[in-house]
Amino acid sequence: MATEPTIPAPPRDIEEIDIIDNSLSFPSFTAQTAWTLGSLLRTKLVAFSKPTVVDITLAHSEHCLFHCTTHSGTTPDNDSWVIRKRNTVLRWGHSTWYMHNRFGGDEVAFAAKFALGQNAGSYAIHGGGWPIRVRGVEGVVAVVVVSGLRQEQDHGIILQSVGEMLEQLNEELANEMEEKKKED
């Protein structure tokens, strides 16, 4: 059996998580951006033997821009995790990994802190839900969720993919600016 790919482990310190989560901002975010990010995530996740779900949804309308599975074997439970992770990101504006580490994974303490009562099951503090931000735009624009791997892997692959995508976008922008200077 082939070796599973490795994903860099995300930090567990909530201040460090918060800095990373807030520093990875897109210059803009469109349906094409969602398609590119979702496709990049799916390509990376296919290398794992576990079936996973990738979902990218706009924050303001819960309009889904990208949704896919990687292998046969996902269940409706994966989509329930997607919804619960998305709800957490939208309500608190933080990644689910941040919330997980803030509460040490203690869902009872999390539910008690926010007096969630019977609504506690609508939220998940397991890694894999991440806020998409756009430079110059207040708040969360969209949410990307990965569900199916271990929670630190779900979160780590999002960070890895977003970081790679933003690096490429910044290179393209720098090249465009350089070309424009040459034309002037």
Q: What is the pLDDT of residue 98?
A: 98
Q: What is the pLDDT of residue 2?
A: 63
Q: What percent of the chain has pLDDT over 70?
A: 99
Q: At what angle are helices 151-183 and 31-45 packed, to 10 degrees?
A: 130
3-state secondary structure of 1: coil
Say yes or no to pLDDT of 1 above 60.
no
d(Cα 93, Cα 95) in Å, to the nearest integer?
7
What's domain 14-183's superfamily in CATH?
A: Haem-degrading domain (3.30.450.150)
d(Cα 75, Cα 50) in Å, to the nearest integer?
12
Q: What is the pLDDT of residue 177?
A: 86
Residues present in the chain in total? 184
Q: What is the pLDDT of residue 39?
A: 98
The owner of tokens 């949804």 is 57
pLDDT in tens, 99-151: 999 999 999 999 999 999 999 999 999 999 999 999 999 999 999 999 999 99
